[in-house]
Amino acid sequence: MSVLWTAEEIAAATGGEIHGNFAVGGVTFDSREVEPGDLFVAMPGTRHDGHQFVPMAFQKGAHGALVSEEVKGPHILVPDVAAALDALARAARERLSEDAVVIGVTGSVGKTSTKEALYAALERSARGRAHRSVKSYNNHTGVPLSVARTPRDVRFAVFEMGMNHAGEIAELVKLVRPHIALVTAIAPAHIENLGTIEAIADAKAEIFTGLEEGGTAILPEDSPHRDRLIRAARGKTRHILTFGSKDADAALLHAVPARSGGSLVTARLRGREVTYTIAQKGDHWIANSLAVLAAVEAAGGDVAQAGLALADMAGLKGRGERHVIPVDDGQALLIDESYNANSASMKATLASLGREEGRKIAVLGAMKELGEQSAQLHADLAAPILDAGIEQLILVGEEMAPLEAALEGKVPLARVDDAGEATDAAKAILRPGDAILVKASNSVGLAKLVEALAGGRPCST
């Protein structure tokens, strides 16, 4: 086991008391994810207190626990576990070498996909010395956990930061302290809490407040909020790069479909042309790739190796993972976008579905946290659906009623109450050769539909 933290180091970082000497190779606050050698962080929760799961963590091989009450087994005792995890994250960031490059990623859409692509691009040449936040660990508990997990000898570290209220990213970025801060896109996600799209842009721009001296800000050239983001970035750095259309620093020159099903892209990157293939389908992935290459170059990474990584990158679970599923005596294509949804990502994935072969089916659930704009933003999906040539539609939940009304008589559709009914409806209409898209906010639960249709098998194309 490679030692990530010793008990002495944890105690020094958190101000805690050592009860039993130990060393750990990982950190987690989810008892289901404990691996032998881990530190289990007994986080307080709204429904369960992590201290209840300390015995289970030790049974699964945890070497120690971070707790606020004494437990049986090696542990560090602290007054406040959440504050101690933050402190451990600060210590992890502080001990990185001067050569390490830390990258922060945020945005209304594409941040997890871009973070994963950026990690893959850097890991390709760093060979075991790249680190990133896993899953969507991007909130007030996920970010400190991800930073606390950072190996001391890392060359590149990529962290995702999310928010649903103003001020949240400003706090998270204090832990990350990035050398490069990247905003993928601005869209009306969480507008229920922030009120306006401009407020969303300002909240995302908080990532620039944590830039290290001499750091680089990267943002979308083609966003209506480009100038707003640039003004925010200029308050912290003079090194600002944009990605997108021909006037950007990382500029798309042209893109054509690749034989593999993705895109063959030619881009201009700081005055030189680069050509590369993206495995993933969709124009949104072209934009993501430009952001990735801009960040790789700013980090001093290998752009050529980054291009190879983009060509090899598979779809992410819930974010574009593709499955070939059995249907009667044949097969159908299932595109899993069940983890997240907002108006921008809905439109992008519907357009991508429109380029698939076969009959096109979409199972769409609600986009959450849209507040007073919810009805209109759902109804506005009618045009992208018609443009994509969707031939069969299953809508899930009461929030999809405005879209149902907007499409009345234009597309065969059914509106159902939940994921279980959506699964039954999908099974009833699927036939060989179909392409079916499943997309909704995670709380709708359409991952259950994907699991039911794909049978839990890793059968990505």
Q: Does any domain span residue 460?
A: no
Least confident of 79-88, 121-130, 340-349: 340-349
Statement to judge: residues 244 and 110 lie in one domain: yes
Q: Is residue 461 part of a domain?
A: no
How far apart, in whole angstroms, are the C-alpha atoms of residue 418 and residue 306? 41
How much of the chain exceeds pLDDT 90, in percent?
83
**Annotation-wise, does 215 bind a ligand?**
no
How far is 351 from 347, CA to CA, in rounded Å? 6
| DSSP line for 49-94 | -GGGGHHHHHHTT-SEEEESS--SSSEEE-S-HHHHHHHHHHHHHH
17-19 and 75-77 beta bridge pairing: antiparallel
282 is in an annotated binding site: no
Residues 433, 406, single domain; the answer is yes
- Looking at residue 437, what is its pLDDT? 96
Domain identity same for 199 and 299: yes
Assess whether 292 and 364 both reside in one domain.
Answer: no
| Res 178 pLDDT > 50 | yes
- Average confidence score pLDDT of the chain: 93
Question: Is residue 109 marked as binding?
Answer: yes
pTM score: 0.84
107-111, 365-369, 382-386: range with highest mean pLDDT: 382-386
108 is an annotated ligand-binding site residue: yes
- Do 392 and 366 lie in one domain? The reply is yes
CB 242 within 8 A of CB 248: yes
> For position 270, what pLDDT does the model report?
84
Q: Is residue 29 part of a domain?
A: yes
Please tell me whether 112 is known to bind a ligand.
Answer: yes
Kind of pairing, strands 64-67 and 75-77?
parallel
Residue 91 placed within a domain: no
Q: Are residues 328 and 260 in the same domain?
A: no
Confidence of residue 459 (pLDDT cuts 50, 70, 90): very low
Span of 166-180, 217-231, 281-295 with lowest mean pLDDT: 281-295
φ and ψ of 329, to 5 deg: -100, 15
- Shared domain for 334 and 300, answered yes or no, is no
| Half-sphere exposure (Cβ direction) of 75: Cα atoms closer than 13 Å | 22
Report the pLDDT value the prediction gives residue 461, as an integer from 0 to 100.
44
Q: Which domain holds residue 260?
A: 96-312
Summarize pLDDT for 403-456 with one digit per residue, the tens.
999 999 999 999 999 999 999 999 999 999 999 999 999 999 999 999 999 974
What's the average model confidence in pLDDT over 345-352? Answer: 90
List, for residues 324-345, the tens digit of each pLDDT value: 999 998 999 999 999 888 888 8
Based on the fold, state whether residues 110 and 139 are members of the same structural domain.
yes
Q: Which of residues 78, 104, 134 is at a domain's end?
A: 78
Residue 237 located in a structural domain: yes
pLDDT computed for residue 141 by the predictor: 94
Residue 139 reports pLDDT greater than 50: yes
Give the C-alpha separation, 106 to 161, whole Å.
5
pLDDT at residue number 40: 98
Residue 90 lies in a domain: no
| Structure-block tokens of residue 89 | 């994250």
User: Known binder of ligand: residue 102?
Assistant: no
Q: Which of 312, 336, 360 is the last residue of a domain?
A: 312
Q: Is the pLDDT of residue 458 over 50?
A: no
Residues 337 and 251 in one domain: no
Query: How many residues does the structure list for the chain?
Result: 461
CA dihedral (128, 132, 136, 141) positive or negative? positive
Domain's final residue, options 281, 312, 343? 312
169 backbone dihedrals φ, ψ, rounded to 5°: -65, -35
Q: Write out the E strands in 258-296.
A: 263-269, 272-278
CATH code, 123: 3.40.1190.10
Q: What is the dihedral of CA 438, 440, 443, 448, to 10 degrees?
A: 0
Q: Which two tokens stand for residue 178?
A: 């990035």
Indicate whether 83 belongs to any domain. Answer: no
Is pLDDT at 196 greater than 50 in this prediction? Answer: yes
Q: If we measure between CA atoms, which residue out of 264, 249, 334 comes closest to residue 296?
A: 249
Considering the domain architecture, whether residues 306 and 349 belong to the same structural domain is answered as no
Binding site annotation covers 360? no
Longest CA–CA span in the chain (Å) reads 70
Q: Is the dihedral of CA 163, 169, 175, 177 positive or negative?
A: positive
Question: What CATH number is given to the structural domain containing 364?
Answer: 3.90.190.20
Taking the mean position of all CA atoms in its chain, how far away is CA 94? 25
- Pairing assessment for the beta strands 17-19 and 23-24 based on DSSP bridges: unpaired
How does strand 38-41 pair with strand 64-67? parallel
CATH number of the domain within which 15 lies: 3.40.1390.10
For residues 249 and 268, state if they share a domain.
yes
pLDDT of 457 reads 47
pLDDT of residue 318: 79
In angstroms, the first-to-last Cα distance of the chain is 34
Please tell me the total count of domains within the chain: 3
What's the token pair of residue 411? Answer: 């597309």
Question: Per residue in 51-68, is it b (16+ CB within 10 Å) or e — as a string?
Answer: bebbeebbebebbbbbbb
Q: Is residue 345 part of a domain?
A: yes
- For residues 275 and 151, membership in a common domain is answered with yes
The predicted-structure confidence for 8-53, as pLDDT tens digits, reads as follows 999 999 999 999 999 999 999 999 999 999 999 999 976 889 999 9
- In the numeric block, the tokens 């906010």 are attached to 441
| Lowest mean per-residue pLDDT among 173-177, 305-309, 366-370, 387-391 | 366-370
